[in-house]
Amino acid sequence: MTSVSAVRILTLNTWKNEGPYVSRLRAMASGLRALAPDVVLLQEVFRTAGGEAHTSVALADALGMVHAYAPGRSKLRSWQGRDVPSESGLAILARGPLTRVERRVLPSDDAGGERIVLLVEARIRGLTLLAGCVHLSHLRGDDARRREQLDAVLANPRWSEPADVRVMGGDFNATAGSPALAGLAAHPTLRITDVLAGGPAAPATHPLPPRGMHPGRTLDFLFTISRHAEPGPAVRSAGVALAAPVDGVWPSDHAAVWAEIAPPADG
């Protein structure tokens, strides 16, 4: 029996332009190139208003991928010794054409800042993939708002449209057992599954490098999504990556989560 194609999907918070940004970009590109992903979900994508710096463009060029960028969280940030207008947006890179791109604003407030979701549809190895990239509220004790944001993401009718593989990933700023994420398993129409569920306990994804007395937490997730009325996709393998320095440089203060996912026919 011929195996059905699978896609390798990865999510990574790129940490804006913090730390040694140029060196980190090279480390991210090197690490991602070694992982050979088909789809990359990026959060905290730094872009200056004048276009002098753009994380997702740099990574897409380095990896030979197409990309979609969604602006978000505009503010002045320090860049090359001066404060410049910039964004901390979302992006999705793909090794295949993007057939639909959609940016939607999520429930937000001034304290937590603007939050958005980027949804794309892509064609990769003959498969139709629907991917959503999110970065939820960062405020401690803001689980109710994070849950509201997730509910808004999942209310999009596109999750019920035909697709070979559907995924949602990003920096959820919440742990698996938190009130914001614990209710995902009870969604009335969608089956939402953590790609690392059932395997060894996931290592902490933030902060990197580990910071003394501050325990790390797993805040970055990749979920498969299917309708209850259909079989779910097959997660062939999954893990955490970019959790160590690359050529002496930490790529980000977050680790990446990746999975190789095949449509239900593979099972």
- What pLDDT, on the 0 to 100 scale, is given for residue 2? 43
Q: pLDDT tens digits for 177-229?
A: 999 998 898 999 999 999 998 777 778 999 999 887 777 999 999 999 999 98
216: tokens are: 């790390």
Instruction: Please give the DSSP secondary-structure letter assigned to residue 225.
Output: E
pLDDT tens, residue by residue, 90-107: 999 999 999 999 999 999
Task: Quick: pLDDT tens for 37-69.
Answer: 999 999 999 999 988 999 999 999 999 999 999
pLDDT of 4 over the 70 cut: no
SS3 assignment, position 265 = helix
User: In this structure, how many other beta carbons lie within 10 angstroms of the beta carbon of residue 100?
Assistant: 12
Question: Chain-wide mean pLDDT for the chain?
Answer: 94
pTM of the model: 0.96
Region 112-135: what's the mean pLDDT?
A: 96
Mean pLDDT of 144-165: 96
Domains, the chain: 7-266 (3.60.10.10)
